[in-house]
């Protein structure tokens, strides 16, 4: 990823001057290596600046497509994160899944785009 991306295939974005925990950078690097996502978002309390010491990191990846179920994608991601000592909740959507939910203002996809922080873009 420039600032980390392998071979110029994507960019770790920090457009809001977010101070990134090195463990989060490592987690994103591993997930990018595994999934080659189009985008990685941080959302929830960490993205809103409302986190406390018990808060986890909510990540949503958008991949172009996948033959795996949503559950299988999430489990693959959690396996890739073994050893990263950071509490992470992970969701991996295909582009079609993400775009299907985007028009609904109350959907997770819409909330992530509105309130989340884009950490990686291919």
**Cα 122 to Cα 108: distance, rounded to the nearest angstrom:** 21
Candidates 3, 27, 38; CA nearest to 81 is 27
Report the pLDDT value the prediction gives residue 10, as an integer from 0 to 100. Answer: 77
- 77, β-bridge pairs: none
CB neighbours of 55 closer than 8 A, spacing ≥ 6? 44, 45, 46, 87
- 52, β-bridge pairs: none
pTM score, two decimals? 0.86
| Class of the domain covering 6-121 | alpha beta
**Cα 33 to Cα 97: distance, rounded to the nearest angstrom:** 21
Q: What is the pLDDT of residues 34-78, one digit of tens each?
A: 999 999 999 999 999 999 999 999 999 999 999 999 999 999 999
Q: What is the pLDDT of residues 86-116, one digit of tens each?
A: 999 999 999 999 999 999 999 999 999 999 9
Q: What is the pLDDT of residues 1-34, one digit of tens each?
A: 434 444 446 776 654 455 788 999 999 999 999 9
Question: In the chain, what are the domain boundaries?
Answer: 6-121
């Amino acid at each position: 990823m420039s600032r980390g991306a392998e071979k110029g295939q994507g960019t770790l974005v920090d457009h809001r001057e977010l101070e990134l925990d090195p463990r989060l950078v490592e987690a994103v690097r591993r997930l990018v290596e595994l999934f080659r996502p189009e985008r990685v978002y941080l959302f929830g309390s960490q993205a809103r600046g409302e986190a406390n010491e018990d808060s986890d990191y909510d990540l949503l990846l958008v991949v172009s497509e996948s033959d795996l179920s949503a559950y299988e994608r999430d489990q693959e991601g959690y396996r890739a994160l073994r050893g990263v000592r950071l509490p992470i909740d992970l969701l991996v959507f295909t582009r079609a899944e993400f775009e299907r939910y985007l028009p609904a203002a109350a959907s997770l996809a819409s909330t992530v785009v509105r309130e989340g922080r884009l950490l990686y873009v291919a």
